[in-house]
Chains A and B, each alone.
Chain A
Amino acid sequence: MPSALEPTLSTIGSIRFKRLRFGVIALGTLVILTFALSSAYDAWRSYGYALTATDREITNTANALAEQTAWTLQAVDLLLLDTAGWYRSDSAMIAPERLNSVLAMRTVAVPQVRQVIITDAQGNQRYSSLKTPPPLHNVADRSYFIAQQDGTANGMFMSEPLITRTEGHPAVEFSRRLEDQHGKFAGVVTAGVNLEDLTQYYRAVNVGIGSAIQLMRDDGILLARNPATPEAIGRGFPVLSAAATSAASRLVNPIDGKTDFIAVAPVRNAHLKLAVTRDAAVALQPWRDETFRVAVRTLILMLLGALTLAALLRQLRRVAAGEQALRESEQRYALAMEGANEGHWDFDLTTESVFLSAQMKILYGLSPDTRIDSRAEWLAKVDIHPDDQPRFETAVADHLEGRTGRYECEYRVRHPNGVWHWISARGRCLRDSSGKPLRFVGSSSDVTAQKQSHADKEQLEAQLRQSQKMEAIGTLAGGIAHDFNNILGAILGYGELAHQQSPAGSPIRRYLDNVMHAAERAQTLVERILGFSRSGLGDRVPVNIQFVVEETLELLEASLPAGIRLESRIEAGNAAVVGDGTYLHQVAMNLCTNAIQAMERGGVLGVVLDCTELYEPRALSRGSLAPGPYVRLSVSDTGVGIPPAVLERMFDPFFTTKGVGEGTGLGLSLVHGIVADLGGAIHVTTKAGEGTTFEIWLPVVGETTIPAVEAARALPRGTVKR
């Protein structure tokens, strides 16, 4: 039978598992890495956005503020220009005490200017726009005066931040040159812009946390700053004013020492620059926070991913281990089943579906890949012996209906080749809580060999009993024959002596004749007893069996009853059987006589004699044969057949079916004794109403052409002539 199990199965399973695990690890790692990379890319991108946004914001702010500042300063310049024009042309016509108020009126329109002061050519402040003018001072040493006096300012001049002498405020002074009618230097008109006001103005602009607005001269002198840093005002920070104006750059702000983004915008028509700075740390804080959150989220997700992967692998390993264990268990089970030559079956009563193992199908003589899915198919494909069918059905029904604790049944099934096999089935059904059967599971095995050996054993035991019985009878018969023959010897011997002495024709002689005759009959009986008991000792010579049978048939044909036809086929040739011709003659005669007697209403007496060769041992109904050449004498009748009870005992001595006095009951036992003595065996087949066939198998020993009976007759004989 081809094994259904591959020894490499578990190896294949582990390779498959390793591949699967590798795939899961690779895929999981890929997913996690992709996720991490995508997060990193996002962070990088958002960093770029943060930079761009910051740049745009501070650049825009710087530009807007620079424009605003330009407008503011333009207003201041217009005021100074107008005032200078007015002073040259009209101031002479106005009383000097009214000049202050005229100046004040002019200044009202420009709120960013704190006060306008007119200073003469000597540097003495002459008029102020303030309603209550503070004490005036000489400012000939101030940069805004000197620049205009020298004519180097060439227009409006803006001073460095300074503390005004009139009010003591920190301020920036804007100056323009005053000229008389002849174009000669006549002093300066100055407009003071309070630095606090300027700073105040920038403070109103919300540029965001960490940001600062710096207004400075081109040379880096800081004019104003928000948030306010009074200590830095007036100091020069050329680094800031020189910073690139295009994109936002980063530098260390010398004012507060922090790393800042910076955008610098020139103020139109003024030698000023407006720088907006933003603390890089603050500017990037939202990005940092976001990135941190993303990083944390990514890490958590990666960790979760890794944990999931680990859990998946663990589960996979457990599943694989489970599968492996299951496979091993199944393999073990299948091997055990196969080793035990057992098949198993599983019948689901709720769905009528059926599972049969491959071995089970083999047990039924079906191909292992036969499809059997339902009980109907199962029963249709399996040919159960008609004699076993009721028993099988009863066993199943008894178990399903709960009358038996276990299902056990032995039945025969016919394989497709026609051979009957004994199947031993055992099983149990599983029930629900109410006792209703759900599944019916069990295993079966082929017990044909056991059954056969059991039957063989029983037959051997029967044969042993038979031979022991025959042995005992033989011993008994031997003793009887011995004593009888002595007695008969005396009767015959003295009878003969008396016979000799008696006068011929006298009644005494007639009496003695009868005594002798009776004694001879007794002698024949004893002879037969010796024959069946196999205790007698006779010579064995090669006998031509064909002559013996032909002779017997010749004798029979003469006295064949009407209605009985003889059909014979005698073709043993010169085959020789070692034995006693007389006995062989008796065998043939007894069998034929029995056959004729079995056909009271006529029929066919069949006698066949042929030679055959046995190549393996064969057990017949009486005795068994070793391989070798045999001659077979078959005597058949078309009579009533032999009932089993008779079949069992018909070879026993003194067993007869005839009435008292009609038969001795020694015929068949004599046949059996002779055949057994010659190393042969008997086979009987009978069918009620159809007839019986006796087959006598005798071992062939070479060939002979001399009829044994003749050979024996040629020699002097130790018996009286009958």
Chain B
Amino acid sequence: MDIVIYEEDQLTRNLLREWLAEAGYGVRRGALDEAQCGRRADLVIASVYMPKQSGNGWLHDIQAAHPGTPVIAISGQFRSGLCRDGATAETLGVQQVIAKPLIRADLLAAVRAMIGKPC
């Protein structure tokens, strides 16, 4: 199970890699030219900066690079208490939203709910 991570912040990226690898998922850093290269992934986790302003464009680019792949958007600007697949997720055009700071249990639960346990 391959999970592609789009996260500028190295601390968070490393943390995600740590958590997901420990849980048994394959994790790699994403690049926007992956569609051309023919690589595919099972899940995309994308960090969105300023979701109100530039977030949409960034997410569109990512979804174009991974057609058909579910996306979890993470952002420091999502309010806590957000429904994961509620109105905000719908607005952004992603399957799940999770507010930062991330909690390991929440994240892993969400990932499991979407793509199941790693084989």
Number of residues from A at the complex interface, CB < 8 A: 39
Query: Are B77 and A537 neighbours in the complex by a CB distance under 8 Å?
Result: yes
Within the complex, the shortest CB–CB distance from B5 to chain A, in Å, comes to 13
B118 within 8 A of A: no
With a cutoff of 8 Å between Cβ atoms, the chain A residues found around residue B49 in the complex are 482
- Which residues of A, 576-610, contact B by the 8 Å Cβ criterion? 580, 582
Query: Are B80 and A719 neighbours in the complex by a CB distance under 8 Å?
Result: yes
**Which of B15, B86, B109 is the one whose CB lies under 8 Å from A493?**
B15
B98 within 8 A of A: yes
A535 within 8 A of B: yes
**Which of A478, A485, A582 is the one whose CB lies under 8 Å from B100?**
A485
Query: Are B84 and A538 neighbours in the complex by a CB distance under 8 Å?
Result: no
Per the bound structure, the CA–CA distance linking A536 and B82 in Å amounts to 11
Query: Are A537 and B88 neighbours in the complex by a CB distance under 8 Å?
Result: yes
Query: Are B75 and A538 neighbours in the complex by a CB distance under 8 Å?
Result: no
Number of residues from B at the complex interface, CB < 8 A: 34
Per the bound structure, the CA–CA distance linking A519 and B103 in Å amounts to 12
With a cutoff of 8 Å between Cβ atoms, the chain A residues found around residue B100 in the complex are 482, 485-486, 488-489
Query: Are A482 and B76 neighbours in the complex by a CB distance under 8 Å?
Result: yes
Closest-by-CB residue of B relative to A533 is B77
Query: Are A527 and B79 neighbours in the complex by a CB distance under 8 Å?
Result: yes
Query: Are A488 and B75 neighbours in the complex by a CB distance under 8 Å?
Result: no
Tell whether A717 pairs with B101 under 8 Å between CB atoms, given A537-B52, A539-B88: no
A540 within 8 A of B: yes
Query: Are B79 and A712 neighbours in the complex by a CB distance under 8 Å?
Result: no
B50 within 8 A of A: yes
With a cutoff of 8 Å between Cβ atoms, the chain B residues found around residue A530 in the complex are 77, 79
Query: Are A497 and B18 neighbours in the complex by a CB distance under 8 Å?
Result: yes
Within the complex, the shortest CB–CB distance from B119 to chain A, in Å, comes to 24
Query: Are A538 and B52 neighbours in the complex by a CB distance under 8 Å?
Result: no
* 0/1 string, A482-518, CB within 8 A of B gives 1: 1111111111111011000000000000000000000
Within the complex, the shortest CB–CB distance from A186 to chain B, in Å, comes to 184
- Which residues of B, 12-52, contact A by the 8 Å Cβ criterion? 12, 14-15, 18-19, 49-52
Per the bound structure, the CA–CA distance linking A519 and B84 in Å amounts to 23
Tell whether A716 pairs with B106 under 8 Å between CB atoms, given A485-B101, A536-B78, A539-B86: yes
Query: Are B88 and A538 neighbours in the complex by a CB distance under 8 Å?
Result: yes
Query: Are B76 and A537 neighbours in the complex by a CB distance under 8 Å?
Result: no
Tell whether A494 pairs with B88 under 8 Å between CB atoms, given A486-B100, A536-B78, A718-B78: no
Scoring B49, B76, B104 by chain A CB atoms within 10 A of each residue's CB, the highest score goes to B76
Query: Are B80 and A717 neighbours in the complex by a CB distance under 8 Å?
Result: yes
Per the bound structure, the CA–CA distance linking A538 and B75 in Å amounts to 11
With a cutoff of 8 Å between Cβ atoms, the chain A residues found around residue B51 in the complex are 537
* 0/1 string, B86-108, CB within 8 A of A gives 1: 11100000000111111110100
With a cutoff of 8 Å between Cβ atoms, the chain A residues found around residue B50 in the complex are 478, 482, 535
* 0/1 string, A520-531, CB within 8 A of B gives 1: 000100110011
Per the bound structure, the CA–CA distance linking A716 and B83 in Å amounts to 7
What secondary structure prevails in chain A residues at the interface with B? helix
Tell whether A496 pairs with B77 under 8 Å between CB atoms, given A539-B82, A540-B87, A712-B83: no
Query: Are B77 and A535 neighbours in the complex by a CB distance under 8 Å?
Result: yes
Query: Are A492 and B88 neighbours in the complex by a CB distance under 8 Å?
Result: no
**Which of B77, B87, B109 is the one whose CB lies under 8 Å from A536?**
B77
Tell whether A490 pairs with B82 under 8 Å between CB atoms, given A716-B109, A720-B103: no
With a cutoff of 8 Å between Cβ atoms, the chain B residues found around residue A481 in the complex are 76-77
Query: Are A489 and B79 neighbours in the complex by a CB distance under 8 Å?
Result: no
Within the complex, the shortest CB–CB distance from B45 to chain A, in Å, comes to 13
With a cutoff of 8 Å between Cβ atoms, the chain B residues found around residue A541 in the complex are 86-87
Per the bound structure, the CA–CA distance linking A537 and B55 in Å amounts to 11
Scoring A483, A527, A541, A716 by chain B CB atoms within 10 A of each residue's CB, the highest score goes to A716
Within the complex, the shortest CB–CB distance from A467 to chain B, in Å, comes to 15
Within the complex, the shortest CB–CB distance from B52 to chain A, in Å, comes to 6
Within the complex, the shortest CB–CB distance from A95 to chain B, in Å, comes to 191
Closest-by-CB residue of B relative to A578 is B87
With a cutoff of 8 Å between Cβ atoms, the chain A residues found around residue B84 in the complex are 715-716, 718
- Which residues of A, 54-81, contact B by the 8 Å Cβ criterion? none
**Which of A497, A519, A523, A537 is the one whose CB lies under 8 Å from B78?**
A537
Within the complex, the shortest CB–CB distance from B95 to chain A, in Å, comes to 14
With a cutoff of 8 Å between Cβ atoms, the chain B residues found around residue A535 in the complex are 50, 52, 77
With a cutoff of 8 Å between Cβ atoms, the chain B residues found around residue A580 in the complex are 79, 81
Query: Are A489 and B12 neighbours in the complex by a CB distance under 8 Å?
Result: yes
**Which of A489, A536, A539 is the one whose CB lies under 8 Å from B101?**
A489
Query: Are B79 and A538 neighbours in the complex by a CB distance under 8 Å?
Result: yes
Per the bound structure, the CA–CA distance linking A584 and B49 in Å amounts to 26
Query: Are B81 and A582 neighbours in the complex by a CB distance under 8 Å?
Result: yes
Per the bound structure, the CA–CA distance linking A340 and B86 in Å amounts to 60
Per the bound structure, the CA–CA distance linking A656 and B82 in Å amounts to 30
Within the complex, the shortest CB–CB distance from B102 to chain A, in Å, comes to 5
Q: A482-B100, A538-B78 are in contact. List 14 more A-B contacts (CB 8 A).
A: A481-B77, A482-B50, A485-B76, A489-B15, A493-B104, A494-B15, A537-B82, A538-B82, A538-B88, A541-B86, A580-B79, A715-B84, A718-B84, A719-B103
Q: Which 3 A-B pairs have the closest CB atoms?
A: A485-B76, A489-B101, A719-B80
Residue numbers of A with Cβ under 8 A of B are 478, 481-494, 496-497, 519, 523, 526-527, 530-531, 535-541, 580, 582, 712, 715-720
Question: What are 13 A-B interface contacts by the 8 Å CB criterion?
Answer: A482-B75, A485-B100, A491-B101, A492-B102, A493-B101, A494-B15, A535-B50, A536-B79, A716-B106, A717-B80, A718-B78, A719-B99, A720-B103
